[in-house]
Structures are given as C-alpha cells and as structure tokens.
Amino acid sequence: MGGLATALALAKHGFRHIDVFESASNLGFVGAGIQLAPNMARILDRLGVWKDIEREAVQLRDTTIRQGSTDEVLGHVDLAYVEATYKYPHMVGHRSSLAESMYDGCKREKAVNFFWSTAASDVQSFGPKPSFTAIPRKGGEPYTVQCDVLFAADGVKSVIRDQMLRLKNVNAKIIDTGQAAYRIMLRREELENDPELLELIEKDSVTRWIGEKRHIIAYPVSNKQIYNLSTTQPDVNFAAAPSATYTTKGSKPEMMQVFGDYCPKIRRMLDLVPDGEVCEWKLRVHEPLPFWVCEQTALVGDACHPTLPHLAQGAAQAIEDGAVIAVVLSKLPEITPQAINKALRVYEKVRMQRAYALVEMAAASGRAMHLGEGAAKAERDRQFAALKNGKGPVPDKWADADVQKVIYGTDVMQVAEEDFDSIYASLE
C-alpha cells in the first residue's frame, strides 16, 4: 500500500523515473476487506484512482457495537455526518480493489516501472546515492541498484529498517502484541438461505461484536457480494513460532472454540469457513523509532509505524506517507543530496507524531473493546449506552467524532505544502 501510493504520488508530481521492487510475484495476499476512511479517499482522489475504488466499495450509514455472547446492542453511531463534514463518506472495500486501482494508476504513468519477484536486500549505501542489492527470486544473478532517493515500504518485517537501525546503533524491536486475527470472507450465496445473515450483508453497516480479550468486526464489501469478517483474539498459535511466521493456516475447531461462547449467528458464520481454509494472522507492531530517515533513504508505512488494526488506519497512514513524500520532494529548492535529506526530514516531521499518535489510539481502542468484567467495562458500556441519547465519546475510537476530526479533518498534503518552507528552514 505504501509503495504503490508513494510511486503513484511521485509520478503525479512529475517525477520521471520511479522503480518499484516487490519480492512477491504479484499484488500478494489481498483476500480481505479494508476500511476506506475519508483521509485515504481524499488522497486517492487527488491521485486519480478513487473513482475506481468507490465503484465497488460500500458506503457506511452506521456502525453498531454488540455484545458478542448475546448479540445485544451496546452502542450505535450514525455515520451520515462523515460525508457532509469531510466531503468523502466512510466506505469499506476489498483490499484487492484498493491495491489494483493504485497499481492500475501506476501503470498509466510512464515514469513507474515494476520489478516483480525481486527482493531488496543488503543496503550498500543509504546515501548520497543510495544503493542496495536486488535479488531476483525466479533465477538470475543479484544486482546492485543505485538511485537518488530510496524508500523502504517493505512492511512490518522491513529488512531495510533493521539495517538502518543497526547502522545508527538503535535498539528498537518488534513488539509482540499477544493478539492474532482470523480473516474471513463469506460469499453472498453462502448467506442467502439464512435471513439473519442475509440481513447483515444487506446493511450498509460495520458491526463489531465484542467480548473479553476478543472481538469480531464485519462489513460487506464488493458491492455486497462478500461479507468480510476480521477477528482479534489472544495469540496462542504464534507465540512459540519462529519470528518469521506472520500468517498460518489456522485450525477450524480452534477458531470455533475461541468464539464458542459467541451468539449462534456468529458461530453459524464461522462455521461456513471450509476446513483447511482458516487463515490466521499474527498482529505485531514495532517500538516507535527515533527517526525514519537516514541520508537519502526513508521508511514508509508499516516499516516505520506498524499498528494494530483497531482504528482501521494502517493502510491509510501508509498512503498519507506516500502523498507527503511526493509533496516535499516536489518542493525541493535545489537538487542536491543535502536538499533531498532535508526534504525527507520534513516528511518525517509532518508524519511521525501523527502516525504514532494513531498507533497508540488503535492499541487503546483495542484495550477498551477487550475489557473483562469490572468498573472499567461498566464505564465503557455506560458510554456506549449514552450514545442512544445523543453524542458522547465512542469507546470504539474509529467511530468517535472527535477522533475522526483529528484523523479525517487533517489534510496531510496541505500541511506539507503549507509547512514545508518553515520546517525546511529550521533543519540543519
């Protein structure tokens, strides 16, 4: 997401030679839904790809938070005001539609070249002319790539981040969140004979069923042809696994057991997942980094601010990174390695505090969703109940109007445009 957005944004800002190296042979694992928040939509619209995504996406009218065990409504938030306030509605879509639309946008740009099945490996130099070893995965000799600016959008397991941290003697680590996620997509025809499930896919709504240490979030995608579920539960399967393992085929009986005390409607949906097709993801984050830039190399997206998914902002924040990078580089007063480094540090200044604030908010929202019996849960449920009588804080933070004001109400491209000169001038 971050790599595609950066390439597309740079091309749209007039950069003429952008090479994208991707270790996978194609767009990769995209079998999941994704929330398309207005701050993401605004940028994608400017990059000319939002209309394609919007065509298949589902516009949300509301969100309901329910007790997982009983299906009882705890809280409800009408989301109609989002479009009126931020010019873009809150939508949900298929990850492949987001990735493919950005990829198609890149393909329309002569400047962007893709090198599939090619992994970026050892960084030989972070600048003034960054260079790294590219390893073709389908045969062929490794070769050196040299460039003016290098962006590492290589995800939570970023190898370039690790090399950058080693060079600078910084000891920041991957954090095990203790949480894992099942990701499930049910086809409309699988739900059609069950009126309760059909009702779910028909609604323009996000539903979150919560319980102690676990929840399920679900919404329709692909013009309501698919119902997407994403769960969070304590990680028991990955805890002892080698650190390279981030996804695995999960066990269906285990999944049924994890949500065994959830309401029958949920269990009927989980039961529709064929044996052998349960997919479980490990949810990991990384300690905040003191810097994202080294010489003429910068980190992007999950490589520098991986997050828990509870605020639905990970991809949106990676896309914000790409958009800000294009703005700051297009404002370079001179084309020298020093100027490039300073512009990248403007990117870091515009983005870092915001990205890390949202990482923390996502974790806090997860903690609130996963509370067990006690005073804190009683207060949370009182806040949910109070929503029936008007506005108030929403413990499920992505749906909270004040949180949305911070996330959707900030146009990071505009901030970068407006603040570039003063931040640039303040840097040595």
Ligand X SMILES: Cc1cc2nc3c(=O)[nH]c(=O)nc-3n(C[C@H](O)[C@H](O)[C@H](O)COP(=O)(O)OP(=O)(O)OC[C@H]3O[C@@H](n4cnc5c(N)ncnc54)[C@H](O)[C@@H]3O)c2cc1C
Chain residues binding ligand X by CB under 6 A are: 1-3, 21-24, 28, 34-35, 119-120, 153-155, 159, 181, 183, 230, 281, 283, 301-303, 309, 312-316, 318
- Shortest distance in whole angstroms from residue 108 CB to ligand X: 20
Q: Which is nearer to ligand X, 158 or 296 (CB)?
A: 158
166, two tokens: 């080693």
Q: Which is nearer to ligand X, 309 or 395 (CB)?
A: 309
Q: Which is nearer to ligand X, 12 or 286 (CB)?
A: 286
- The answer to whether residues 327 and 13 touch, using CB atoms and an 8 Å cutoff, is yes
Q: Which is nearer to ligand X, 316 or 324 (CB)?
A: 316
- The answer to whether residues 329 and 340 touch, using CB atoms and an 8 Å cutoff, is yes
370, two tokens: 């996963």
Provide the CA 369 distance to its chain's centre, in angstroms.
19
Residue 343, burial from CB neighbour count under 10 angstroms (0-12, 13-18, 19+): buried
Q: Which is nearer to ligand X, 120 or 387 (CB)?
A: 120
Q: Which is nearer to ligand X, 74 or 156 (CB)?
A: 156
- Closest residue by Cα to residue 120 from 155, 168, 75, 83: 155
- Closest residue by Cα to residue 34 from 315, 317, 405: 315
d(CA 119, CA 364): 35
Integer CA distances (angstroms), 363 to 40, 177, 199, 249, 280, in order: 20, 9, 31, 25, 19
Euclidean distance between the first and the last CA atom of the chain, given in angstroms as a whole number: 31
Q: For the chain, percent helix, then strand, then coil, each to nearest 5?
A: 40, 25, 35
- Shortest distance in whole angstroms from residue 365 CB to ligand X: 13
- Shortest distance in whole angstroms from residue 307 CB to ligand X: 6
CA-based R_g, the chain, Å? 22
Provide the CA 112 distance to its chain's centre, in angstroms.
23
Q: Which is nearer to ligand X, 298 or 423 (CB)?
A: 298
d(CA 261, CA 241): 27
Q: Which is nearer to ligand X, 339 or 413 (CB)?
A: 413
d(CA 239, CA 333): 49
- Shortest distance in whole angstroms from residue 160 CB to ligand X: 7
- Shortest distance in whole angstroms from residue 405 CB to ligand X: 18
- Shortest distance in whole angstroms from residue 60 CB to ligand X: 12
d(CA 33, CA 45): 20
Q: Which is nearer to ligand X, 32 or 266 (CB)?
A: 32
Torsions phi, psi for 89 (to 5 deg): -75, 170
Torsions phi, psi for 250 (to 5 deg): -85, 175
Q: Is 144 helix (H, G, I), strand (E, B) or coil?
A: strand
- Shortest distance in whole angstroms from residue 224 CB to ligand X: 17
- Shortest distance in whole angstroms from residue 219 CB to ligand X: 9
- The answer to whether residues 180 and 235 touch, using CB atoms and an 8 Å cutoff, is yes
Provide the CA 261 distance to its chain's centre, in angstroms.
29
Q: Which is nearer to ligand X, 197 or 218 (CB)?
A: 218
- Shortest distance in whole angstroms from residue 27 CB to ligand X: 8
